[in-house]
Amino acid sequence: MKYSKIIGTGSYLPEKVLTNFDLEKIVDTSNDWIVDRTGIHQRHIAAEYETSLSMAEKAARRAMADAGITPADIGMIIIATTTPEKIFPSTACLLQQQLGIGGCPAFDLNSSACAGFMYAFSIADQYIRHGSIKYALVIGSEVMSRILDWTDRTTCVLFGDGAGAVILGQSNEPGVFSTHLHADGTHKDVLYLDSILRKPMAVEEALSIKMSGNQLFKLAVNILGDLFDETLAANSLNKSDVDWLVPHQANIRIIQAMAKKLDLPMERVAITLEEQGNTSSASIPLALDKAIRDGRIKKGETLLLEGFGGGLAWGSALVNY
C-alpha cells in the first residue's frame, strides 16, 4: 500500500505590508472594527511586478529545497489560484517552463477559490497513492489585492497576497490518512467573482469579489463542524488524536469555533491571519509552512487541514506529518 507524505514546504510573502491603520485612510473603517470582527491586523500586498506565477515560483523553489528534490523529480504541478497569470495557459504550465522541466501534467484549479488548496492537495494525494507519480508540487498562490474593490470596506479589509507550496512524496507509511471534498452550488451567490466573459460589463464590476459575509460565516461554521466529524470518523479517530488544526484563514472567530469543536487550545492552531489576512488558496500552505519552520509542528504529529470558499466548496485532509 502506498501513501503520500508531506516532505517539504515553502512560502512567499510580498514585502509591502498594509496595516489596518493604512486602511483607515482608504475606506471608512477602523483598526478596532477589523481586529474585533476578523482578527486581522495587517496583510501583504504584491508589488506591481509580482504575480501569482512569480510568487508561486518562489514558494515552490523553497519547498523543493526543503524536500531535498530538484525540479526534474516533480511528477505533477497543481496550482490553486483564483488570480491566475493568464486565463490560459495555466499558471502551472508557465511555472513548469520557468522550472525548466517538461512533460509532467501541470494544471490550475481556479474554481474552488479558498478551498482550492484542499482540492489540489486531494488530487495530488490520489495520484501518488495510485502509484502513477512519486512527487507532486502543490501550490496556492494569490494576488487577492487585484480582485478587490478598494472602495468596499466589507471586503477590501479581509484579504492579502502570498503563496505557499507543499511537496507530496510517495511513502510506505501514512502520510496523508484521508482527504474529503465537498461542494454545494446552491450557495453560489454567497461569495463570487464575476467574469467579463459571461456578458458585457465593466472590468471593475467583473473583477471584484462580492460576498455576503454574515451568511458565509454561519455556513462555514456548520459545514466545517460536519467536515471534522466526517474526517475523524473515516479514520476511526477521536478529536483527542488531533495535534494541530491548520485552517483556512478567513476569520479568527470561525477558527476559534473550530478549535473549540476539536477541544484544541488556540496554541495548537496554526494561525497567520493576524499578519497575512485571508490569502484565499494560499492560506493553508502559508500557515503550515510557518508552523513547521518555526518548530511548532513536529514530525509524527497529526494535522487536520481544512478549507472553504466560493461555490460553496470545502475540504479537509488528515495528515501524519
Give one DSSP letter per residue of 30-70, joined into a string.
-HHHHHHHH---EEEE--TT--HHHHHHHHHHHHHHHHT--
Site for ligand COA in 130-159 (CB under 6 A): 153-154, 157
Candidates 309, 312, 317, 320: give the one binding ligand COA (CB under 6 A).
309
Q: Which position among 114, 156, 251, 320 bears the catalytic label? A: 114
Element counts in the chain: helices (H) and strands (E): 11, 13
Among all chains, which residue has been given the C-alpha cell 501518488? Answer: 128
Q: Is there a catalytic annotation at residue 114?
A: yes
Strand partners of residue 6: 168
> What is the nearest approach in angstroms of ligand COA to the Cβ of residue 209?
9
Q: Determine if 213 is a binding residue for ligand COA (CB under 6 A).
A: yes
Q: Quote the distance between the C-alpha of residue 80 and its chain's center.
A: 8
End-to-end CA distance of the chain: 18
- Of 31-39, 90-98, 173-181, 197-205, the window that binds ligand COA (rule: CB under 6 A) is 31-39
List of residues 6+ apart from 116 with CB closer than 8 A: 80, 81, 82, 109, 110, 140, 280, 281, 307, 309, 313
Q: Determine if 286 is a binding residue for ligand COA (CB under 6 A).
A: no
Q: What is the C-alpha separation between 199 and 142, in angstroms, rounded?
A: 25
Q: Cβ closer to ligand COA: 154 or 302?
A: 154
Contact code string over 242-281 relative to ligand COA, x by CB under 6 A: --------xx--------------------------x---
Q: Is there a catalytic annotation at residue 187?
A: no
Report the residue number whose CB is nearest to ligand COA: 213
Among all chains, which residue has been given the C-alpha cell 515560483? Answer: 57
Q: Determine if 37 is a binding residue for ligand COA (CB under 6 A).
A: yes
Among all chains, which residue has been given the C-alpha cell 507543499? Answer: 166
**CA-based nearest residue to 168, from 2, 1, 15:** 2
Strand partners of residue 247: 306
Q: Which position among 44, 156, 187, 248 bears the catalytic label? A: 248
Q: Cβ closer to ligand COA: 14 or 39?
A: 39
> What is the nearest approach in angstroms of ligand COA to the Cβ of residue 301?
26
- Of 58-66, 198-206, 214-222, 269-277, the window that binds ligand COA (rule: CB under 6 A) is 214-222
Among all chains, which residue has been given the C-alpha cell 493604512? Answer: 22
Q: Determine if 33 is a binding residue for ligand COA (CB under 6 A).
A: yes
C-alpha cell at 171: 511513502
Candidates 94, 191, 273, 313: give the one binding ligand COA (CB under 6 A).
191
Active site residues: 114, 248, 278
Q: Which residues bind ligand COA (CB under 6 A)?
A: 29, 33-34, 37-38, 114, 153-154, 157, 191, 211, 213-214, 216-217, 220, 250-251, 278, 309
